[in-house]
A = this chain, B = another copy of it.
Amino acid sequence: MTIYDIAKEAGVSASTVSRVINNRPGIKKSTREKIESILKVYNFSVSEAARGLVNQTNRMIGILVSDIRNQHHTEGAYMIERHFMKKGYCSLILNAGDSDESMAECVRILSSRRVDAVVLIGSVFQNRCVMNAITDYMPSTPIIFQNGIFNLPNVSSVVSAEDEGTAEAVKYLYSTGRKHIVYINGADTPSNRKKAAGYSNAAAELQLDEILYNTDGTAKNSADVTEMALAEHPEADAIIYATDLLAVGASRRILDDGKKIPEDIAIIGTDNSPFSTLANPRLSSIDTKLFELSEACSSILEKTLLNPGYTENAVIAPALVLRETTSQ
């Protein structure tokens, strides 16, 4: 069923049908009504693909996340999708995977789909492979990078000052008397490196020993690494984790090993995710302002769509949220 079928049925030309579909003025009322009723009878819906071809915009925005099952990436995708669906855009959401190559391939796919804009969610996209794919395949498509930066004329960015958030957590713990603060990092990503840098800076500033461990990002590994860290550093009296998941995974192990939280060991997670309030004990956490980050992306994207060439870089400050795993 095309616009021509409707036209034939109504005894008019396709142009006229197109005009009523697009609410163009200057159509005789009776003609418009007749066409509208036929449109309704057939439940006609215009092909957006054909329309996109002539209008030079498919009204689609591409969203890249490494894994859509990760709640943390989903917030931004949700906000973008909801907001722009209202404006007639559809979202192509791709799971870009872990490898630089698969991420770059996704950029190529989105370029083939001729999306009007793309949003990259997560610092993992900050690598040369993706950057090259952008300059090769989307040198002028508006791109918004959530929690990452590309020094490219067509990409805006909104980042969380995670280093500062982590430093603030260190200083807070120090102010409550903790002097042996461990940092347990997540998977190796630009974001986590930045958090660790914040930890190191604060430790240096306060002249504390730097006790830093890495994990693969899973709850299980976090528990194991924590156990090892506490064995190697019996003096430890606080641990900051790069994510809430790591903190929750480990805290049960700490309790099982007979230590009290927060009396013996204070704990702070990162992200202020749903896990933090559901955890038992409830987890203090560095709020990296995911919601604000996502909102900022959405608002920059909107400006960019309205005003081609518009670009913006924003930084959002984290905040410490205290619950039961820290004592004042």
Contact = CB atoms under 8 A, between A and B. Distances in A.
A95 interface: yes
A67 B74 CA distance: 10
Interface string A238-271: 0000000100110110010000000000000000
A113 B49 contact: yes
A207 interface: no
Interface stretch (A165-173, A227-235, A273-281, A297-305): A273-281
A108 B40 CA distance: 13
A204 interface: no
Nearest to A280: B280
Copy total for this chain? 2
Q: Main secondary structure on chain A at its contact with chain B?
A: helix
> How many A residues touch the partner, as a band?
35 or more
A106 to B, nearest CB: 8
Interface stretch (A86-94, A208-216, A314-322): A86-94
Interface stretch (A75-83, A151-159, A193-201): A75-83
A78 B71 contact: no
Contact of A69 (B71, B94, B245, B252): B71
Among A50, A71, A90, A137, residue most surrounded by chain B Cβ atoms (within 10 Å): A90
